[in-house]
């Protein structure tokens, strides 16, 4: 098949055959007899009667199949000045050994293991080691604070935590162990043990009998074999922001995940075994799970673990160096990374210093790709720039330009067309489809394809109420947008309180919970305002308790610190103003959307139900004080 239309239609005509054919790309211990089990709809199960092991498919089978000497992982760390190449053969030994170490300490099938690590190969090794022994990993991004880690410990109730002694950000070393200790102290659930990978930049103090040194554990261990897991057994849980401070534990089962990701490497990314693929993200996010770790390895290609930033490590040419030095065929990153590079090097001087003839395609996702950024990348790299749209929940692209099948015409502002498996519909409030070109809620007709979430960790009801309740028979994406006459999808905004800061998904509701916890705060609102570099930034407004006469400067400083300490630096919460009142409807709903429009200087209408319009003037003054609402 040569066209997208043909491939998409073949899925529409016979989804069962489509996915059973895709499943042939995977080594099964027991082959699935069917793809979809819809007997418990709307809880769907894919490849439920299969038996398999994800680590086998990502590592061992390539060793058996003649790729033992091929590089599996390239660790490139400009921030520490180190590089390391790991072949598939070495990776198998490292993973099997570490898996043996975990197993010897009692970790087995179905046990959870939290991984709290920076972008070092040990993070990938720990993930694969869990997969090998059937343990369920849950990676927590290093930029989250101890409190967020504690919330995840209590939800996932892990037997063990694997961490590094420190992470490294430009200009500072972040000791992880004190954060980990604080999180374990705060959590009600107590883990049996931790394993700490000691980094020379800042080794950690270990508590005897509870904290084990990674190197010692691995040295004493005997290698573990791949265990047999069921197709629907979870490979991992990945927490993502919802509408409250309680994150959602997205569950990813083994079989559907392998089938779908394996299919995407060739068909969406145009990547073959042996090619070098680079997702410049972090293992703490879904992009890192799917496209730093699992998909490239399932495919037998080479993946890059990059520990650095697009700028400042050491300069805006870092990405181009990595591409040319390691022969990268496809790069995947968030638009914010390109905005950062473009800001430092608008005329692309650094691009000219490197031979990047190896690069075929640039893929962008994680947030809206603004046309300026796409055009800059196209002009300077001279390759197709492909925007694609997906979510932690789906694990792979809902809409993309499938370059491995056919490079479709790029329309700026659109992540192109729905991928096989996704029946994307634009619905009005009543759940009826709207016409082409009209805005609505973006929903996906059930069932979702393999690889997507079947539920939330130990929270079936929350899964149903969060995603399946609004539109009967559909998954609600939380995004609003439209489709044009050619079926191209456009993503315009979120319909909930999620904001996207430098490609990182955050909940303003979660931040409001933190602000409300301040003893002087009576009520508050957090909105997302437009930012040229990060796409969006959070901004808070707080009203103080009656009688509070403390300095507002002090309170604002405390609030910024509070979000940093309770959610983490990644929230980038730095804008906050104390105000007398918050604008509300007569029924008491805070007008967050209106405030965001005023801040961004975009068009807005006075809501008919506003309680007291004068409050908006006060808010505008505060916004101007923060450097916003300039055009309002």
- Our finding on whether 600 is near ligand AMP (CB under 6 A) is no
The two three-digit tokens of residue 180, written as one number: 């980990």
The site partner of 367 among ligand AMP, ligand COA, none (C-beta below 5 to 8 Å per kind) is ligand AMP
Phi, psi for residue 30 in degrees, rounded to 5: -125, 120
Q: Which one of 155-163, 216-224, 331-339, 385-393 is the stretch in contact with ligand COA (CB under 6 A)?
A: 331-339
- Our finding on whether 282 is near ligand AMP (CB under 6 A) is no
Q: Which one of 35-43, 96-104, 277-285, 511-519 is the stretch in contact with ligand COA (CB under 6 A)?
A: 277-285
Taking each continuous run of H as one helix and of E as one strand, the counts in the chain are 20, 31
- Our finding on whether 391 is near ligand AMP (CB under 6 A) is yes
**Using the rule CB under 6 A, which residue among 309, 329, 368, 483 binds ligand COA?**
309
- Our finding on whether 391 is near ligand COA (CB under 6 A) is no
If DSSP states are collapsed to H, E and C, what string results for 73-91?
Answer: EEEEECCCCEEEEEEHHHH
Please, are residues 268 and 400 in contact by the beta-carbon 8 Å criterion? yes
Smallest distance, ligand AMP to C-beta of residue 285, A: 6
**Using the rule CB under 6 A, which residue among 302, 500, 566, 594 binds ligand AMP?**
500
Smallest distance, ligand COA to C-beta of residue 382, A: 22
Tell me which H or E stretch contains 529: strand 521-531
- Our finding on whether 563 is near ligand COA (CB under 6 A) is no
- Our finding on whether 334 is near ligand COA (CB under 6 A) is yes
Closer by beta carbon to ligand COA, 97 or else 290: 290
Nearest to 542 by CA among 529, 561, 528, 555: 555
Q: How many residues bind ligand AMP (CB under 6 A)?
A: 21
**Using the rule CB under 6 A, which residue among 365, 377, 482, 596 binds ligand AMP?**
365
The site partner of 392 among ligand AMP, ligand COA, none (C-beta below 5 to 8 Å per kind) is ligand AMP
Q: Tell me the HSE value of 217 on the side-chain side, using a 13 A CA sphere.
A: 26
- Our finding on whether 387 is near ligand AMP (CB under 6 A) is yes
- Our finding on whether 22 is near ligand AMP (CB under 6 A) is no
Helix (H, G, I), strand (E, B) or coil at 481: strand
Nearest to 126 by CA among 102, 107, 110: 102
Q: Tell me the HSE value of 524 on the side-chain side, using a 13 A CA sphere.
A: 29
DSSP state at residue 30 = B
- Our finding on whether 579 is near ligand COA (CB under 6 A) is no
The site partner of 491 among ligand COA, ligand AMP, none (C-beta below 5 to 8 Å per kind) is ligand AMP
> How far is CA 25 from each of CA 8, 57, 298, rounded to the nearest angstrom?
19, 10, 9
Of the chain, the end-to-end C-alpha distance in Å amounts to: 53
- Our finding on whether 392 is near ligand AMP (CB under 6 A) is yes
Smallest distance, ligand COA to C-beta of residue 95, A: 23
- Our finding on whether 54 is near ligand AMP (CB under 6 A) is no
Please, are residues 373 and 386 in contact by the beta-carbon 8 Å criterion? no
DSSP state at residue 428 = -
Give the DSSP letter string of 89-138. Answer: HHHHHHHHHHHHHHHHTT--TT-EEEEE--SSHHHHHHHHHHHHHTPEEE
Nearest to 599 by CA among 530, 503, 507, 548: 530
Per-residue binding letters, 108-147, with ligand COA (x by CB under 6 A): ----------x-----------------------xx----
Closer by beta carbon to ligand COA, 285 or else 422: 285
**Using the rule CB under 6 A, which residue among 105, 494, 518, 564 binds ligand AMP?**
494
Closer by beta carbon to ligand AMP, 98 or else 236: 236
Q: Tell me the HSE value of 5 on the side-chain side, using a 13 A CA sphere.
A: 3
**Using the rule CB under 6 A, which residue among 32, 134, 242, 503 binds ligand COA?**
503
Closer by beta carbon to ligand AMP, 234 or else 415: 415
Please, are residues 559 and 540 in contact by the beta-carbon 8 Å criterion? yes
The site partner of 415 among ligand COA, ligand AMP, none (C-beta below 5 to 8 Å per kind) is ligand AMP
Smallest distance, ligand AMP to C-beta of residue 432, A: 22
The two three-digit tokens of residue 73, written as one number: 């992982």
- Our finding on whether 340 is near ligand COA (CB under 6 A) is yes
Distance CA 420, CA 400 (A): 10
Distance CA 412, CA 334 (A): 16
The site partner of 169 among ligand AMP, ligand COA, none (C-beta below 5 to 8 Å per kind) is ligand COA
Smallest distance, ligand AMP to C-beta of residue 366, A: 5
Q: What is the CA radius of gyration of the chain?
A: 24
The site partner of 109 among ligand COA, ligand AMP, none (C-beta below 5 to 8 Å per kind) is none
Q: Which one of 34-42, 329-337, 383-391, 421-429 is the stretch in contact with ligand COA (CB under 6 A)?
A: 329-337
Closer by beta carbon to ligand COA, 77 or else 594: 77
The site partner of 282 among ligand COA, ligand AMP, none (C-beta below 5 to 8 Å per kind) is ligand COA
Please, are residues 329 and 276 in contact by the beta-carbon 8 Å criterion? yes
Helix (H, G, I), strand (E, B) or coil at 39: coil
- Our finding on whether 169 is near ligand COA (CB under 6 A) is yes
- Our finding on whether 305 is near ligand COA (CB under 6 A) is no
**Using the rule CB under 6 A, which residue among 367, 476, 497, 520 binds ligand AMP?**
367
- Of residues 429-488, which lie at the interface with ligand AMP (CB under 6 A)? 477-479
Closer by beta carbon to ligand COA, 59 or else 140: 140
Burial state string for 38-70 with b = 16 or more CB within 10 A and e = fewer than 16 = eeeebebbbbbebbbbbbbbbbbbbbeeebeeb
**Using the rule CB under 6 A, which residue among 572, 591, 623, 629 binds ligand COA?**
572
Q: Which residue has the tokens 């950024």?
A: 373
Distance CA 243, CA 95 (A): 37
Please, are residues 250 and 453 in contact by the beta-carbon 8 Å criterion? yes
- Our finding on whether 502 is near ligand COA (CB under 6 A) is yes
Q: Tell me the HSE value of 164 on the side-chain side, using a 13 A CA sphere.
A: 24
Question: For binding to ligand COA (CB under 6 A), which residues are involved?
Answer: 118, 142-143, 167, 169, 174, 281-282, 285, 287, 309-311, 333-334, 336-337, 340, 366, 502-504, 569-570, 572
Question: For binding to ligand AMP (CB under 6 A), which residues are involved?
Answer: 240, 286, 365-369, 387-392, 415, 477-479, 491, 494, 500, 505
């Amino acid at each position: 098949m040569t066209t997208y239309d043909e491939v998409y239609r073949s899925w529409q005509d016979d989804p069962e055959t489509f996915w059973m054919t895709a499943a042939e790309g995977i080594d099964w211990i027991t082959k699935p007899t069917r793809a979809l089990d819809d007997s418990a709809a709307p809880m769907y199960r894919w490849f439920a009667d299969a038996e398999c092991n994800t680590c086998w498919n990502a590592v061992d089978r390539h060793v058996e199949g003649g790729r033992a000497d091929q590089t599996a992982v390239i660790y490139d760390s400009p921030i520490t000045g180190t590089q390391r190449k790991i072949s598939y053969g070495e990776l198998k030994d490292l993973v099997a050994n570490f898996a043996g170490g975990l197993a010897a300490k009692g970790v087995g099938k179905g046990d959870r293991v939290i991984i709290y690590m920076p972008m070092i190969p040990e993070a990938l090794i720990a993930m694969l080691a869990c997969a090998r022994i059937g343990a369920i990993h849950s990676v927590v991004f290093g930029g989250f604070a101890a409190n967020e880690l504690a919330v995840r410990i209590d939800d996932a109730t892990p037997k063990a935590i694997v961490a590094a002694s420190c992470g490294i950000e430009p200009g500072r070393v972040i000791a992880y162990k004190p954060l980990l200790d604080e999180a374990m102290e705060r959590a009600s659930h107590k883990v049996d043990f931790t394993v700490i990978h000691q980094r020379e930049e800042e080794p950690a103090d270990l508590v005897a009998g509870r904290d084990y040194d990674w190197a010692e554990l691995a040295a004493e261990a005997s290698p573990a074999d791949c265990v047999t897991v069921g197709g629907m057994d979870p490979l991992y849980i990945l927490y993502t922001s919802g509408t409250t401070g309680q994150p959602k534990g997205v569950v990813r089962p083994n079989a559907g995940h392998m089938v779908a990701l394996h299919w995407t490497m060739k068909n969406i990314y145009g990547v073959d075994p042996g090619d070098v693929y680079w997702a410049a993200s972090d293992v703490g996010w879904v992009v890192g799970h799917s496209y730093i770790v699992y998909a490239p390895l399932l495919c037998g290609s080479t993946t890059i673990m990059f520990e650095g930033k697009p700028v400042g490590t050491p300069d805006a040419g870092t990405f181009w160096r990595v591409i040319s030095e390691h022969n990268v065929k496809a790069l995947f990153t968030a638009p914010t990374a390109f905005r950062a590079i473009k800001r430092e090097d608008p005329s692309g001087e650094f691009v000219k210093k490197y031979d990047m003839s190896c690069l075929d395609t640039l893929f962008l996702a994680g947030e809206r790709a603004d046309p300026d950024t796409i055009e800059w990348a196209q002009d300077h790299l001279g390759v197709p720039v492909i925007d694609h749209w997906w979510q932690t929940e789906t694990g792979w692209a809902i809409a993309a330009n499938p370059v491995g099948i056919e490079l479709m015409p790029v329309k700026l502002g659109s992540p192109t067309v729905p991928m096989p498996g996704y029946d994307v519909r634009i619905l009005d409030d009543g759940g009826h489809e709207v016409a082409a070109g009209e805005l609505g809620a973006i929903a996906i007709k059930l069932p979702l394809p393999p690889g997507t979430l079947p539920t939330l960790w130990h929270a079936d009801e929350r899964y149903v109420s969060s995603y399946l309740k609004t539109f009967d028979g559909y998954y609600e994406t939380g995004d609003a947008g439209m489709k044009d006459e050619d079926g191209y999808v456009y993503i315009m905004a979120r319909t909930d309180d999620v904001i996207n800061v430098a490609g990182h998904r955050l909940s303003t509701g979660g931040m409001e919970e933190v602000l409300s916890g301040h003893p002087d705060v009576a009520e508050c609102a957090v909105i997302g305002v437009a930012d040229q570099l990060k796409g969006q930034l959070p901004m808070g407004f707080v009203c103080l308790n009656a009688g509070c006469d403390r300095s507002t400067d002090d309170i604002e400083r405390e609030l910024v610190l509070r979000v940093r300490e309770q959610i983490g630096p990644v929230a980038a919460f730095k804008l906050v103003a104390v105000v007398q009142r918050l604008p509300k409807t007569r029924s008491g709903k805070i007008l967050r959307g209106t405030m965001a429009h005023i801040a961004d200087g975009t068009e807005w209408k006075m809501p008919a139900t506003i309680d007291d319009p004068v409050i908006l003037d006060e808010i505008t003054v505060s916004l101007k004080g923060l450097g916003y609402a300039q055009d309002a």
